[in-house]
Amino acid sequence: MTLTLQPHRDVVGLSDGSLLVDGQWRAASSGRSWTHQHPASGESLASFPIAEQVDVDAAVGAARKAFDDGSWPHMRAGERIRLLHRYGQLLRDNADQLRGLQAMDNGVPLSFAGVYATSVGAAADVFDHHAGWVDKLGGQTLPGYQGGEHLAMTLREPIGVVAAILPWNAPFLLFAQKLAPALAAGCTVVVKPSEFATFSVLRMVELLGEAGVPDGVVNVVTGPGEPTGEALINHPQVDKVSFTGSREIGKHIVRASAGTLKRVSLELGGKSPTIVFPDAPDVGLAAMTTMGTVTMGVSGQACVAHTRALVHRDVYDQFIAAAQGMAAAVTYGDPFDAGVLASPLINEKQLNKVLGYIDKGRAEGARLVCGGERPDGELSAGNFVRPAIFAEVDNSMTIAREEIFGPVLSVIAFDDEDEAVRLANDTEYGLGAGLYTSDVKRVFRLSRALRAGTIGVNGFQIEPHVPFGGYKQSGIGREGGQSAFESYTELKTVMLPV
């Protein structure tokens, strides 16, 4: 298959290199590069420079200078608010082009690029939301504890230089979830896109310059985890690492940050359950929504995909039949084709990992209801796997415990509410959970009982102004809303004589 690829190869100024340091696009000092091969076709689309220590030093140095000279952290609130709104509008104005770049990166089809996590509109909304926090960066005034001789005043100040390290599955939203609060708070940033989603992020950064963000405030280094990411997370001049990616690299970043006690926020993986009771308003819809999170758009390569369906025995067969219908509706191919609904897996390594889990599911005794095979014909050149549903899964099986990051649903039966809660919480992760029931008291009971950061009742959505993040090994901290904004600040106390 040859991709349609009308759009956008020239927009990112690749001829000048794709590192941005102090407002200048440039090549890496080493001259080394890697080639991005499209996951749907295997086509080689572009080569990007690999930033090494010396390039990272330059990018962090530029961010440090832009922070320390004070003009960005102390920019007038009104000016910063207007700038962030202007950027949100620029994203919307360039949405068609950005969607094309995302399709070139990770193969998310244009047909799905209006859906929250992979949409440009959501990223723009996140910038608008955080623009609203700029003039609310307040503290408290407290009375003296010992008597009336002094007051205590608290101030929130920007944390400093932030390293923003991104994954590839939702480049617009995840860029926005880090950059919007960081810039709103007055931080400066070095961004490292994933080596599998570089086009989208370079254009997002280029548009920051068009919105009027001064040189040096946002810098970019491209490259893989080693050497580029490593140089960033170990850099003594970086004050905070804001990371979205796998649990393993998240743990590694915590260890690396110990050297200079950097602040760290982590958005990691999940093994999110969805619980379906017989009194669900619509069991079929619950099944389709759940299956949708593991198939449509990114083919289950979503941190918060509901990959464990815990289904009451009375509606188990009904649930599986409806999920199977959804699986059959998924279409693959050229992401620029309007009829295509789901992406390939991002690379061959991920493809083999997912196929390995499907073999393991069978070997451990789960029943493969449908899918799990690779399509043939022209699709065989891409990293496609047909959506798999496993029934009769036990929560101790590997497919129920490990994050697969692919189109695989495990369906587990339960008999009563206590068992459902026990199974839902029996995981090392705690990112999301779904709950399908018409019983309001049960909603309250289970919302309290489930150990997960975001719970969807009779549906699932995320919005720019609400906190999003994980319990347990799904991460540290929250993105979205006030808590995200505050995580890019330090709290200072000033004792004032009166």
In the bound state with ligand NAD, the residue whose beta carbon lies nearer, of 1 and 108, is 108
Q: Least distance in Å: CB of 273 to ligand NAD?
A: 15
Q: How many CA atoms lie within 13 A of 152 on its CB side?
A: 10
Size of the site for ligand NAD (CB under 6 A): 30
| Strand pairing category for 240-244 and 263-267 | parallel
Site mask, ligand NAD, residues 375-414, x = CB under 6 A?
Answer: ----------------------------x-x---------
The only residue of 226, 236, 255, 498 in contact with ligand NAD, by rule CB under 6 A: 226
In the bound state with ligand NAD, the residue whose beta carbon lies nearer, of 324 and 427, is 427
Which part of the chain contacts ligand NAD (CB under 6 A), choosing from 127-135, 199-207, 223-231, 352-360?
Answer: 223-231
420 in helix, strand or coil? helix
- Strand-pairing partners, residue 189, are 162, 218
How many whole angstroms separate alpha carbon 156 and alpha carbon 184? Answer: 12
224 touches ligand NAD by CB under 6 A: yes
Q: Backbone phi, then psi, for 362, in 5-degree steps? A: -65, -45
52 touches ligand NAD by CB under 6 A: no
Find the binding residues for ligand NAD in span 343-382 (CB under 6 A): none
Q: Least distance in Å: CB of 35 to ligand NAD?
A: 16
Find the binding residues for ligand NAD in span 263-282 (CB under 6 A): 267-270
How buried is 116 (Cβ within 10 angstroms: 0-12 exposed, 13-18 middle, 19+ buried)? middle
Which part of the chain contacts ligand NAD (CB under 6 A), choosing from 55-63, 222-230, 276-284, 287-295?
Answer: 222-230
Q: Least distance in Å: CB of 365 to ligand NAD?
A: 26
How many whole angstroms separate alpha carbon 412 and alpha carbon 391? Answer: 7
Q: Backbone phi, then psi, for 48, in 5-degree steps? A: -120, 145
Find the binding residues for ligand NAD in span 427-446 (CB under 6 A): 431
What DSSP state is assigned to residue 297?
B
Tell me the DSSP string of 149-169: TEEEEEEEEE--EEEEE--SS
What DSSP state is assigned to residue 240?
E
Q: Which amino acid is at 354?
A: V
229 touches ligand NAD by CB under 6 A: yes
Q: Least distance in Å: CB of 478 to ligand NAD?
A: 10
In the bound state with ligand NAD, the residue whose beta carbon lies nearer, of 88 and 229, is 229
Q: Backbone phi, then psi, for 9, in 5-degree steps? A: -60, -30
Please give the positions annotated as active site: 267
Are 77 and 135 a contacting pair, CB within 8 Å? Answer: yes
214 touches ligand NAD by CB under 6 A: no
Among left, alpha and beta (phi > 0; psi -120 to 50; other), residue 214 is beta
105 touches ligand NAD by CB under 6 A: no
165 touches ligand NAD by CB under 6 A: yes
The only residue of 8, 64, 129, 192 in contact with ligand NAD, by rule CB under 6 A: 192
The only residue of 475, 477, 480, 481 in contact with ligand NAD, by rule CB under 6 A: 475
Distances (CA, A) of 305 to 45, 197, 199, 382: 29, 20, 25, 22
- Residue 408, both tokens: 């695989």
Q: Least distance in Å: CB of 264 to ligand NAD?
A: 12
Q: Least distance in Å: CB of 280 to ligand NAD?
A: 26
Distances (CA, A) of 485 to 9, 182, 284, 371, 466: 34, 7, 39, 42, 11
Helix (H) or strand (E) holding 388, with range, is strand 388-391
* Residues near ligand NAD, by CB under 6 A: 165-170, 174, 192, 194-195, 224-226, 229-230, 233, 244-246, 249, 252, 267-270, 303, 403, 405, 431, 475
